[in-house]
Structure formats: C-alpha cells, structure tokens
Amino acid sequence: MANALPKFNPLKNIDKIKFIQVNGNSQYFPIIIKSFKERLEHLYGNQDKGIEKVKKSDDRICEVLFVNKSPVGLIVLKKELQNEYGISNSLELKTLFLINPEKNSGQGYGTLLIKRILIKAKKLKAQSIYCTCAQSNINSFLFIQKMDFTVHKIISKGDNKKEFVFKRNLK
C-alpha cells in the first residue's frame, strides 16, 4: 500500500495574516481602485459607483487581507443586516475576490475571507449571509457553493443573463 502523504497545508508557513479596513482616507485605497477595475469590470461593467461607495464607506466596510504585507484579497460587507429577496436579518456580502488570483488562488485565502465574514456575521447576530453572483462568473459560482452557500433565488437580467442569489444559513 502506498504511504499516505501528509495533507498539504499552504497556510503553515505564513507568519503574518492581517485584515485592514480600507476607505477613501486609507493609504491602501489605490489597491481598491486598481483591483475593482481589473477584477470586476469585465464581469459587471463600470465600477466607479462601487469604488465611490467604498471610498465613503457609509453603508459598507471594505477589508483587505494582507499576507506577509502583500494584499491578497478583499471583502466588502454591508454594515447593517438586510432584508431582501425574502431573506431576513442577513449580512450582505457585496464583493469578495482575490487580488492577483493567478498568483494567489488555491492557497486557502478565499476560505480565510469567508471565515472573516462568518466572524462578522456572528458578531452582528445575523441569521444568514447572502450575496449575488452573475452566471458568467463561473469561478465565484463554484467557489461560493463549495463554501456551503446554496442558490436561494435566480434573477433574470434580460439578454438571457441570470444572476444567482446565494445564501448560507447560520446557527
């Protein structure tokens, strides 16, 4: 029988993981502008409004995940629990993606971002977390299902385009 290989733990050698809140006053705000344009415009069109909302951060919080001082991913969450799509008291995940995914994917950073959201949701006593995802965004679609989210609703966007509302219930 072949020897069982030890499970690869990509996070083992990381000495510093840090989440930093970023808005328009932050030295890291240029990362938001660049990554929103690079990561989201081809999927969701012009991102100026979304960038402006992060800049102001009135209704949302943006956190960037730094690993060994390099930005590797980000999340944007609504500050208050939402009631939408027939979902009550739910934390809305507006955005989640890796920065420079060619280099950073497959190392557990996406999972770390989800864990961060779960901590925030518990603090807010949310009953669930939800997000929307365009049909064309295959990577996010597969990843979010892997993270125990299920399709709550399918929204027709015209031109045969669909958007999925994903929800993960919390205990």
Ligand X SMILES: CC(C)(COP(=O)(O)OP(=O)(O)OC[C@H]1O[C@@H](n2cnc3c(N)ncnc32)[C@H](O)[C@@H]1OP(=O)(O)O)[C@@H](O)C(=O)NCCC(=O)NCCS
Kindly state the smallest distance separating residue 34's Cβ from ligand X, in Å. Answer: 14
Per CB under 6 A, the segment of 49-57, 62-70, 107-115, 156-164 that binds ligand X is: 107-115
Alpha-carbon gap, residue 69 to 71, rounded angstroms: 7
Closer to ligand X at the Cβ: 128 or 137?
A: 137
Q: Which stretch binds ligand X (CB under 6 A): 19-27, 30-38, 105-113, 152-160?
A: 105-113
Between 51 and 96, CB nearer to ligand X: 96
Tracing tokens 């991913």 back to the chain, one arrives at 73
Options 110, 129, 149, 167; binder of ligand X; rule CB under 6 A? 110
Question: Applying CB under 6 A, which of residues 35, 90, 128, 137 lies at the interface with ligand X?
Answer: 137
Interface region with ligand X, contact rule CB under 6 A, candidates 22-30, 82-90, 122-130, 142-150? 142-150
Q: Where are the alpha helices (DSSP H) in the chain?
A: 29-44, 48-56, 101-104, 109-123, 138-146
Q: Please report how close the Cβ of residue 132 comes to ligand X at its closest, in angstroms.
A: 9
Query: What is each CA distance from 48 to 52, 59, 118, 120, 125, in whole angstroms?
Result: 6, 16, 28, 26, 31
The token duo for 97 is 């993606």
- Among 153, 112, 115, 111, smallest CA distance to 131 is for 153
Q: Say whether residue 140 binds ligand X (CB under 6 A).
A: yes
Of 22-51, which residues contact ligand X (CB under 6 A)? 39-40, 43
Instruction: Give the distance, in angstroms, between the CA of residue 26 and the centroid of all CA atoms in the same chain.
Output: 20
How big is the site for ligand X, counted in residues (CB under 6 A)? 21
Question: Residues near 10 by Cβ (< 8 Å), separated by ≥ 6?
Answer: 106, 107, 108
Instruction: List interacting residues with ligand X (CB under 6 A).
Output: 39-40, 43, 95-98, 101, 105-111, 137, 139-140, 142-143, 146
